[in-house]
Amino acid sequence: MSDEYDVHLDGERRTRRGRYDRGGNEGAYRPGPAGGGRHRSEDADDQPGLPSWIADQPRPAGPINPGTARGSAAIPPAGLTSAPPPLPSEYGPPAPTPPGSYRSRNSRDSGPSVGGFVRGTIRVFGELMITCGLILLLFAAYEIYGKTAIVDAAQGDLDRAFDTPAAAARPGGTGSTGKPPPGGAVARLHIPRLAKKWVVVEGVAPKDIEVAPGHYPKSALPGQAGNFAIAGHRVKSTFWDLDDMVNGDPIVVETKTTWYVYKVARTKIVKPSAVEVVDPVPPGFAAGDKLVTITTCNPKWDNYERLIVHGALIRSQPRAAGDPPELRG
């Protein structure tokens, strides 16, 4: 029996191999189907061999130079009109990506642009504004709650010191005849309209009025002819609501021996340079008037103005007689 040949892509003729009979005759050999160059399964008898357009091509004179071509991508032999199409590969290499052209579908263009610069500037500005806002909130919280706690604690100590019998023996402790030392208690100031009271200390230096209203050292004492002038901070714990006062409101000053009741005669806003408001005879009043003047910063949260409240003495009574009616509510 003559050998049968298949024409392969490399131009060689190879003997068509048969296959073993699987019907139990391991030694039996029978030819495989036409075009079969590899072992096939039993149900592959009906599969065709090489395509006719390849099988009908004339065989080349010699094998293709393996150094110049390989596999299904070889240059077609002489006489062939074209090379067979490349066999599909399930895991073929991916096409190369040009350098610099890769970009994730989730990525954004990070190159410089006017829009990117504007967005970055707005983002930085917004973060700075948020930071400044937080700082201002912290400052406001300290002014409202932090300083209030400090002043309240200090006022408690001053109250106890003012009410002790030993304080009555010190110069100025009995009322209107002498002045206490700097930082010492002068009197207790009551403002029923604000439902507040404070111990007033001697002096208006920053350290003196840090936790209490201060008495101008050169001004009159309570009940004396002249001007009992007081300064205090515009904070929640002190004169925050002083602008709520109106003409006729009582201002009560308590010393060791006497109650002095004043009534608001005038309120006004002036420049910080208007120091005449604490003179012995302020503008609008007459010599011999017994006055009280309260000064503080204006507006709230700033100090480029001064809020002034003037009061005139209307009466007095001994401290031993009890609280004046203006404090009984």
In terms of Cβ atoms closer than 10 Å to its own Cβ (0-12, 13-18, 19+), residue 227 is buried
> How long is the chain?
329
Q: How many CB atoms lie within 10 A of CB 64?
A: 18
Classify the C-alpha dihedral 112-113-115-121 as positive or negative: positive
**Token digits for 141?**
């919280």
End-to-end CA distance of the chain: 137
Q: How far apart are alpha carbons 213 and 168 in whole angstroms?
A: 20
Annotated catalytic residue within 8, 39, 215, 297? 297
Query: What CA–CA distance (Å, rounded) separates 32 from 109?
Result: 62
233 noted as active-site residue: yes
H helix or E strand, kind and range, residue 156: helix 147-163
269 close to 306: Cβ distance less than 8 angstroms = yes
**310 catalytic per annotation:** no
**Which residues are known to be catalytic?**
233, 297
